[in-house]
């Protein structure tokens, strides 16, 4: 690729970071491969060989990226809103943390509300109950009809006992 | 038929996970595999026979069942309503994966069913009997490529045992692991490898149709409907069964263990279970109590020895 | 009786009202689960297996086949509209399909997917009926070395379709290859890159990675945009239906997709995802407008969608003729056969012709049903895009996590969803293509295993890799695919292309 003169003198930070990450991954893979017994057997290619090839490839790509970062210079990028992203990541983390204890509906309801918050629905007093109701509905369909084993919490147990208690 | 189907759907809809279910069976594999099918067949039989009102099956897949086993040993401690399905593959996986949790950390109840291994070649192969194959193995172990299931699994272990019995260095076997799911069978049918080894059920239909030749089976006595000698008849002291079992939680009382054993025994003797075994072509190799424990200990010791011989376990 | 009589007899079995009902339930359920990310046809069939115990064998098998076809079809809808593939076979569809949907051409994209699936399903099912025994003989000729050569060809052709920057495409591919290393090495049982975490021993699940990179990454990316108001997605621009130009650009890709998908599906180590990768690469090469690829080229939807349905039919070839299940769904269908005491295999056509031909006939009917059900629904599906964003993305994330939790409710799996989601966001932000990561994850281990198997069989003799005619031909094709563009570029003919590529960078 032939490029016109660099846009600025400064290297592109993002591309440099990519180069560093690739180098780090290459080192991790290489060290993991070194730990493996070289059991190539009759093939001559053992479990540690392909990881080594991939680590070498990653190393080469890391160098290429570093060179590119200096040659290309800093590129302009659209600024990002960090708030909404943290809301979604937080929602996923909350679901992960609560799933085993609070059950599918409550944990997933929180994810629902957090995602809606990220996209501008700020009223959590409305979105949290709505999300839990929606997730509970999803739970009933999948755990009930399809027998999918979704983690049950207090809410699910309550609903099941109500459904079971009802006359057939 | 239509009505039965809807009745089935509705029954499934109503068979809700209850607050205090009688049994929860952990299938330490993804839906669809052998252990999952075993767990779901148990669910069916236990419910249909009224032994348990509501049975739940939970899939905890991963690493030859060791992920499910570890979770079960940690979470089910002392709970008499928790069961886990497992099998011979787990014995090997515990060793090769260096699993911190072993079958000693749960309470084995009974062996339920099992399959014997079969050694096959394509019909076009020049190898006519197991003796010929063993001679080739002795002459040049590398030239005999074996297709079978995953490394360290029952098939691999069987090849190791055969080599050892034939006086061939087990580290020298040329075993080609396939991801199962018929890939190994395709390689055998396509004459890509010298011989194949897997559960008899995988090969039976092909043998009946005359595309594969069964050289030997790993049972103690000849199997009805299979025109092949046992390995023992061929002079190789190998007998092995790829079995499936059910175990209860660690830390339960002797009374609780006795009650679970009684429930399982009732299930095994029930027509629902027997019909399901017949339909799926699973052999009834039920064994419980002290006999099962002895057999289990023997299998664990033998497996450890052969995995060390093959070089998969230090 | 000849094949035709059998097929007619099969049709009469399948046209029984009860059978039609089973087929209807199957395709409806299949489409519904195909739409959900992470819950594929395999899981659905597995969960329904116990429910069908004690039912009519023909009926429930027909229902399973309906689920299979429906699932293959349903996956494309969310790919196109929401950039969230339902399963690995519809990942490629998202590349062009979602670009079309954003430009208000979601209707034609869904239509070409539906009709392409129908055409492919029809042709492939007829092929299944007529040439299954021959195809299966050819498929068995493929040994490890031939598969390795096929993987090399796939890598070479697919990587040319990776987008604008060679460096970025290769980085994405290598990230996928690195992730593919995680877990137990199939051939020796050694644990690689699992760092003592038992849940990592089975490696990174393709659906988890795909759902995370596409669905979660997309949600984060859209949420993070400051100028969110500017790029409002247009639900419909122009006709919801395909124009004459769309038709003329679609029919060849449908047929090419079928021609690629059916044989690859029939191969014991093939698979629908590989068929879609190859079809996409083929369409990009064959297209008179390669510059449109990456910006919503209809060929890039039509080809892969036809390929994945044709490969679904192809999968039934080894299943019915040899009893060989080559996909997870086929493996579970095999369990379904066995539940009714039927052993699929060389004898099934002889011992149970009614059932086999009934199944084949009902596949034809299920295929028609899918078309009839789905074409009118396109108008409705497209409206999904008009759901306000907060609810739309909240819903997508609920279903994305549901699929992961349902398949494997482990915190490690959910953590992977989160980590790869953030990775997907980063890749979008800095312009790294997503698809090569998934391609690497799928093709990497297959290439490695087949190479090592081939070498093991030959006891380390490297010449084995070109010793079979199939392998030699495939490798020669791969070499051509690599060298020809270089020559063309050197002679200046690629100038226009590289010009375009650097403009987009």
Interface of B with C in 137-166 (CB under 8 A): 142-143, 145, 150-152
With an 8 Å Cβ cutoff, is B279 touching chain A? no
Which token pair is B178? 């396939």
Which token pair is C345? 């295999």
Q: Is the model's pLDDT at B17 over the cut of 50?
A: no
pLDDT-based confidence at residue C443 (cuts at 50, 70, 90) = confident
Mean pLDDT rounded to a whole number for chain C: 80
Average pLDDT over residues B45-74: 78
SS (H, E, C) C36-50: CCCCCHHHHHHHHCC
pLDDT of residue A57: 94
In this structure, what are the phi and psi dihedrals at residue A37, rounded to the nearest 5 degrees? Answer: -65, 140
- What is the Cα–Cα distance from C411 to A92, expressed in whole angstroms? 11
Tens digit of pLDDT for each residue in C16-26?
A: 888 888 888 88
The closest of B227, B68, B235 to B167, measured between CA atoms, is: B235
Q: How far is B142 from chain A (nearest CA, A)?
A: 7
Tens digit of pLDDT for each residue in C473-488?
A: 989 988 887 787 677 6
- Name the residue of chain C whose CA is nearest to B174's CA: C456
Give all chains having 3 or more CB-to-CB distances under 8 Å with chain B.
A, C
**Domain with C184 in it:** 3-504
- Write the CA distances from A125 to A107, A111, A132, integer angstroms: 16, 14, 12
The domain ranges of chain A are 13-72, 82-165
pLDDT of residue C230: 47
Nearest-by-Cβ selection for B16 from A41, A149, A160: A160
- What is the Cα–Cα distance from B187 to B204, expressed in whole angstroms? 16
Tens digit of pLDDT for each residue in B263-291?
A: 888 888 888 888 878 777 778 888 888 88
- Write the CA distances from C268 to C142, C316, C338, integer angstroms: 9, 11, 20
Chain C residues in contact with B206 (beta carbon < 8 A): 322-323, 345-346
Average pLDDT over residues B181-200: 85
With an 8 Å Cβ cutoff, is C196 touching chain A? no
Q: CB A145 to CB B9 under 8 A?
A: yes
- Name the residue of chain A whose CA is nearest to C220's CA: A85
Tens digit of pLDDT for each residue in C425-439?
A: 999 888 888 888 888
- What is the Cα–Cα distance from B255 to B260, expressed in whole angstroms? 9
Contacts of A89 (CB under 8 A, 6+ apart): C220, C418, C421, C422
Instruction: Give me the residue label for tokens 């009382």.
Output: B253
The closest of C130, C116, C128, C144 to C266, measured between CA atoms, is: C128
Average pLDDT over residues C397-405: 85
Bridge partner list, B59: B27
Among B6, B15, B16, B55, most A C-beta atoms within 10 A, so best to mutate, is B16
- What is the Cα–Cα distance from C56 to B285, expressed in whole angstroms? 29
Q: CB B16 to CB A149 under 8 A?
A: no
Cα–Cα–Cα angle for C207, C208, C210, nearest 5°? 60
Q: CB C323 to CB B182 under 8 A?
A: yes
Among B9, B63, B102, B194, most C C-beta atoms within 10 A, so best to mutate, is B63
Buried b (16+ CB within 10 A) or exposed e, C35-55: bbbbbbbbbbbbbbbbbbbbb
Chain A residues in contact with B15 (beta carbon < 8 A): 147
Whole-angstrom distance between the N-terminal and C-terminal Cα of chain B? 57
Complete domains list, chain B, with CATH: 2-114+242-310 (3.40.190.150), 115-217 (3.40.190.10)
Q: Are B242 and B199 in contact (CB under 8 A)?
A: yes
Q: How many helices (H) and strands (E) does chain A have?
A: 6, 0
Count of domains in chain C? 1
Tens digit of pLDDT for each residue in B221-266?
A: 888 888 889 999 888 888 888 888 888 888 888 888 888 888 888 8
- What is the Cα–Cα distance from C304 to A110, expressed in whole angstroms? 37
The closest of B281, B253, B305 to B92, measured between CA atoms, is: B305
Q: How many helices (H) and strands (E) does chain C have?
A: 21, 2
Question: Which residues does chain A have with pLDDT short of 70?
Answer: 1-9, 39-40, 146-147, 164-168
- Name the residue of chain B whose CA is nearest to A150's CA: B58
Q: How far is B114 from chain A (nearest CA, A)?
A: 27
Q: How far is A77 from chain C (nearest CA, A)?
A: 8
Nearest-by-Cβ selection for C414 from A85, A96, A138: A96
Stated as kind and residue range, the H or E segment containing B37 is helix B34-48
Q: CB C188 to CB A64 under 8 A?
A: no
């Amino acid at each position: 690729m032939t490029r016109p003169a660099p846009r600025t003198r400064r290297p592109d930070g993002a591309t440099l970071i990519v180069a560093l990450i690739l180098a780090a991954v290459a080192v991790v893979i290489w060290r993991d491969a070194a730990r493996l017994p070289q059991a190539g057997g009759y093939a001559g290619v053992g479990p540690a060989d392909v990881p080594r090839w991939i680590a070498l490839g990653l190393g080469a790509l890391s160098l290429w990226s570093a060179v590119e970062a200096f040659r290309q210079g800093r590129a302009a990028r659209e600024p990002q809103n960090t708030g909404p992203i943290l809301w979604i990541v937080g929602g996923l983390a909350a679901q992960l943390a609560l799933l085993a204890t609070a059950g599918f509906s409550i944990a997933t309801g929180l994810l629902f509300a957090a995602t809606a918050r990220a996209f501008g629905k700020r009223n959590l007093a409305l979105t949290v109950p709505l999300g839990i109701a929606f997730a509970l509905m999803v739970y009933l369909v999948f755990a009930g009809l399809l027998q999918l084993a979704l983690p049950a919490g207090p809410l699910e147990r309550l609903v099941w006992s109500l459904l079971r208690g009802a006359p057939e | 038929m239509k009505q039965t189907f809807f009745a089935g759907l509705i029954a499934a809809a109503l068979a809700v996970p209850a607050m205090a279910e009688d049994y929860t069976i952990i299938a330490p594999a993804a839906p669809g595999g052998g252990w999952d099918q075993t767990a779901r067949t148990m669910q069916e039989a236990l419910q249909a026979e009224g032994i348990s009102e509501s049975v739940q099956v939970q899939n905890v897949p991963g690493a030859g069942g060791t992920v499910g086993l570890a979770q079960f040993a940690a979470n089910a401690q002392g709970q008499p309503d928790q069961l886990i399905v497992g099998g011979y593959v787990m014995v090997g996986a515990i060793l090769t994966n260096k699993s911190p949790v072993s079958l000693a950390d749960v309470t084995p109840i009974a062996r339920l069913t099992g399959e014997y291994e079969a050694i096959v070649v394509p019909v076009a192969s020049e190898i006519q009997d197991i003796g010929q194959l063993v001679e080739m193995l002795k002459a040049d172990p590398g030239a005999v490529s074996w297709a079978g299931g995953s490394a360290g699994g029952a098939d691999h272990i069987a090849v190791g045992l055969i080599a050892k019995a034939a006086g061939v260095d087990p580290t020298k076997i040329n075993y080609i692991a396939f991801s199962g799911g018929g890939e190994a069978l395709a390689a055998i049918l396509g004459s890509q490898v010298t011989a194949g080894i897997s559960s008899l059920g995988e090969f039976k239909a092909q043998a009946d149709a005359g595309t594969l030749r069964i050289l030997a089976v790993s049972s103690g006595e000849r199997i009805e409907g299979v025109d092949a000698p046992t390995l023992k008849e061929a002079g190789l002291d190998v007998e092995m069964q790829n079995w499936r079992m059910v175990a209860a939680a660690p830390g339960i009382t002797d009374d609780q263990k006795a009650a679970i054993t009684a429930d399982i025994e009732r299930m095994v003797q029930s027509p629902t279970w027997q019909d399901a075994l017949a339909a799926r072509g699973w052999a009834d190799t039920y064994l419980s109590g002290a006999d099962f424990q002895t057999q289990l200990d023997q299998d664990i010791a033998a497996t450890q020895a052969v995995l060390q011989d093959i070089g998969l376990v230090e | 009786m000849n094949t035709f009589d059998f097929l007619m007899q099969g049709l009469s079995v399948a046209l029984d009202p009860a059978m039609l009902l089973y087929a209807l339930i199957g395709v409806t359920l299949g489409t519904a689960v195909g739409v959900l990310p992470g819950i594929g046809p395999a899981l659905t069939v597995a969960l329904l297996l116990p429910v069908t115990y004690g039912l009519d064998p023909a009926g429930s098998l027909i229902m399973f086949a309906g689920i299979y076809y429906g699932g293959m079809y349903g996956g494309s809808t969310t790919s196109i509209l929401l950039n969230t593939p339902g399963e690995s076979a519809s990942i490629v569809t998202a590349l062009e399909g979602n670009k079309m949907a954003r430009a208000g051409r979601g209707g034609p994209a869904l239509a070409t997917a539906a009709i392409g699936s129908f055409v492919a399903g029809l042709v492939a099912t007829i092929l299944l009926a007529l040439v299954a025994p021959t195809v299966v003989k050819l498929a068995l000729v493929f040994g490890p070395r031939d598969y390795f050569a096929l993987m090399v060809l796939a890598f070479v052709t697919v990587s040319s379709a990776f987008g604008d920057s060679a460096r970025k495409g290769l980085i994405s591919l290598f990230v996928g290859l690195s992730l593919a290393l995680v877990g137990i090495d199939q051939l020796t049982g050694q644990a690689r890159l699992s760092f003592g975490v038992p849940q990592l021993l089975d490696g990174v699940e393709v659906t988890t990675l795909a759902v995370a990179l596409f669905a979660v990454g997309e949600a984060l990316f859209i949420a993070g945009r400051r100028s969110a108001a500017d790029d409002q997605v247009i639900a419909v621009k122009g006709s919801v239906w395909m124009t004459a130009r769309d038709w003329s650009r679609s029919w060849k890709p449908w047929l090419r997709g079928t021609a690629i998908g059916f044989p690859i599906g029939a191969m014991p180590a093939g698979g629908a995802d590989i068929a879609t990768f190859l079809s996409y690469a083929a369409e990009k090469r064959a297209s008179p407008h390669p510059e449109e690829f990456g910006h919503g080229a209809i060929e890039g939807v039509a080809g892969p969608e036809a390929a994945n349905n044709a490969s679904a039919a192809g999968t039934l070839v080894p299943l019915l003729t040899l009893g060989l299940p080559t996909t997870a769904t086929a493996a579970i269908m095999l369990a379904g056969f066995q539940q009714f005491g039927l052993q699929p295999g060389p004898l099934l056509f002889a011992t149970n012709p009614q059932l086999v031909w009934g199944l084949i006939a009902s596949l034809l009917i299920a295929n028609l049903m899918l078309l009839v059900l789905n074409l009118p629904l396109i108008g409705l599906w497209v409206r999904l895009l008009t759901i306000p964003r907060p609810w739309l993305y909240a819903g997508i994330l609920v279903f994305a996590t549901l699929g992961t939790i349902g398949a494997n409710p482990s915190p490690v799996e959910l953590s992977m969803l989160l980590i790869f989601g953030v990775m997907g966001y980063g890749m979008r932000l800095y312009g790294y293509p997503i698809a090569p990561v998934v391609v690497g994850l799928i093709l990497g281990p297959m290439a490695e295993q087949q190479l090592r198997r081939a070498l093991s069989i030959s006891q380390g003799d490297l010449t084995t890799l070109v010793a079979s005619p199939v392998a030699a031909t495939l490798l020669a094709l791969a070499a051509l695919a690599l060298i020809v563009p270089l020559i063309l570029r050197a002679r200046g003919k690629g100038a226009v292309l590289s010009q375009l590529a650097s403009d987009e960078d």
